[in-house]
Amino acid sequence: MSSPEVSSAIKAIETAPAADKPSRYNSLLQTVLKTSNSSNLAANLIAFASSLLGDPLGIVASRPLLAAFVEQFRKVEDADVKVEVGQQVLDLLAPKVVSYEEQDTQIKEILADAYEAQEDYRGSAKILQTITLDSSQRAVSNDDKAKIWVRIVRCYLEEEDPTSAFTYLNRVKNVIHSVQDKETRLMFQLSQARIHDSQRAFLDASQAYYTISLETVIAEEERLHGLSSAIVCAVLAPAGPQRARTLAKLYKDERAHQVEEFSILEKMFLDRLLSPAEVKAFSEKLQPHHLAKMSDGSTVLDKAVLEHNLLGASKLYNNIGIDQLGELLGVDADRAEDYAAKMLEQGRLAGYIDQIDRLIFFEGEGSGERKTGHAERIVGKELRKWDANVQGLAEEVERVTTMIQNQYPEFYATQMVH
């Protein structure tokens, strides 16, 4: 409840002549801000706004008064007061929002700031969603729309809700081509990267983070952070030719040695096996969603390291027993065989599995193309060998025939006649 002094002042203004009201409302607002304490500031501001919006002053007189209120309200430091007052004022404005659309938007932005100060990012997103962006009362540019939508995206990402974030990211995509503000465009790129990251599309996320790291408009520290995030996502990506190309690009960047993740990047680029100690040290720097458990009980990092070490083993051995491979990877034989089979089938590893002798044969680099099955691979391999042998035999016959022609031309001529 408002203080007695403020209540009395409001009653005096409401009964005063219309010509005196604007100056008296302005004077009261300054008094409220200067004399109110933390316990009654919210109540006094709500009482002031209720009187102002309920007074039959008319839009011409009340709009500049409300604009002045919003400007002073923005300066209030207490986030709890902003939330309490902001919600009440928005309720008061709701029936007449068409007349005060600009002030309504500003209060919602102030309220969103307050929610974020309280780390209530979902609350901030919800209030930003109510801002009118298709208005007949005021012009809303694509830059303004994109700025609001990108902010909503970032709030949902803070709440680990990539699905809701993706909905608003798609709205930004429709207008980003015409957005001029560099900061908004950069935030859009960052949001894209974070959504790819949260959805475990790590190769796409790595590329998006790397693009941000090349932006000269941001500080060097932020660029290095983008490079660091790009390396993390590349490490977590499924092992194979695509990831190898991404690792090569990052490793060759002259800034790579400046980030903490360089050592693991180097080992992965050079196809060296990773030790449990190195993996543990790297895991301590990851985000919670990077360490979330999957259906088989392993984390994204566990899977990435296992696949990388499996790929590294293919560089060291022509073939290896399934049991021995399991020991090398630190998992049981069945799991080692399962991972190898998936990588072979997806074309991320080249070779085949002999399940009778329990051996895995490696055949160089994976093509990156999905295979249709083991039988087809074996048949294709044998056909290629047959074709190569036939070609070799034909070339050898031609070579011998040429030698006979050169050494014994007369004999060759008589044979050709017959």
Q: Which of 110, 128, 146 is the last residue of a domain?
A: 128
Give the pLDDT of residue 83.
94
Q: Which residue has the higher pLDDT, 349 or 126?
A: 126
Give the pLDDT of residue 115.
96
Question: Does residue 37 register a pLDDT over 90?
Answer: no
Distance CA 102, CA 137 (A): 9
Question: Does residue 35 register a pLDDT over 90?
Answer: no
Distance CA 77, CA 88 (A): 18
**Range name among 78-92, 99-113, 148-162, 370-384 with the lowest pLDDT average:** 370-384
Give yes or no for a contact between 366 and 347, defined as CB atoms under 8 angstroms apart.
yes
Report DSSP letters for 136-195, one per residue.
SSS---HHHHHHHHHHHHHHHHHTT-HHHHHHHHHHHHHHGGG---HHHHHHHHHHHHHH
Give yes or no for a contact between 61 and 104, defined as CB atoms under 8 angstroms apart.
no
Residue 376 confidence class, pLDDT cut points 50, 70, 90: very low
The pLDDT tens digits for 228-281 are 999 999 999 988 888 889 999 999 999 999 999 999 999 889 888 888 888 888
Average pLDDT over residues 61-78: 91
Average pLDDT over residues 17-22: 88
Backbone angles phi, psi at 354, to 5 degrees: -100, 100
Average pLDDT over residues 71-95: 92
Q: Which of 94, 128, 162 is the last residue of a domain?
A: 128
Question: Into how many domains does the chain fold?
Answer: 2
Give the pLDDT of residue 390.
84
The answer to whether position 42 is within a domain reads yes
Structure tokens belonging to residue 96: 């007449």
Give the pLDDT of residue 380.
52
The answer to whether position 334 is within a domain reads no
Give the pLDDT of residue 103.
92
The answer to whether position 349 is within a domain reads no
151, HSE (Cβ side, Cα atoms, 13 Å) = 20
The answer to whether position 249 is within a domain reads no
Backbone angles phi, psi at 220, to 5 degrees: -60, -40
CB atoms within 10 A of CB 159: 17
Give yes or no for a contact between 236 and 301, defined as CB atoms under 8 angstroms apart.
yes
The pLDDT tens digits for 335-372 are 888 888 888 888 888 888 888 888 888 876 655 555 54
Residue 384 confidence class, pLDDT cut points 50, 70, 90: low
Give yes or no for a contact between 35 and 69, defined as CB atoms under 8 angstroms apart.
no
Give the pLDDT of residue 308.
85
Average pLDDT over residues 315-322: 85
The answer to whether position 256 is within a domain reads no
Q: Which residues contact 239 (CB under 8 A, 6 or more apart)?
A: 304, 307, 308, 310, 311, 343, 348, 349
For residue 341, the SS3 value is helix
**Range name among 45-49, 320-324, 347-351, 373-377 with the lowest pLDDT average:** 373-377
Give the pLDDT of residue 394.
86
pTM for this predicted structure? 0.71
The answer to whether position 408 is within a domain reads yes
Give the pLDDT of residue 373.
45
Furthest C-alpha separation in the chain: 133
Q: Please report where in the chains the tokens 């500049």 appear, as a residue.
A: 64
Average pLDDT over residues 125-129: 96
Distance CA 243, CA 84 (A): 50
Backbone angles phi, psi at 321, to 5 degrees: -70, 145
The pLDDT tens digits for 168-197 are 999 999 999 999 999 999 999 999 999 999
Give the pLDDT of residue 416.
66
The answer to whether position 8 is within a domain reads yes
The answer to whether position 295 is within a domain reads no
Q: Which of 128, 159, 174 is the last residue of a domain?
A: 128
**Range name among 70-79, 250-259, 283-292 with the lowest pLDDT average:** 283-292
Give the pLDDT of residue 292.
78
Rounded to 5°, angle at Cα 66 from 65 and 72: 95
Q: What percent of the chain has pLDDT over 90?
A: 43
Q: For the chain, give me the number of helices (H) and strands (E)?
A: 20, 3
Domain carrying residue 399:
381-418
Question: Does residue 375 register a pLDDT over 70?
Answer: no
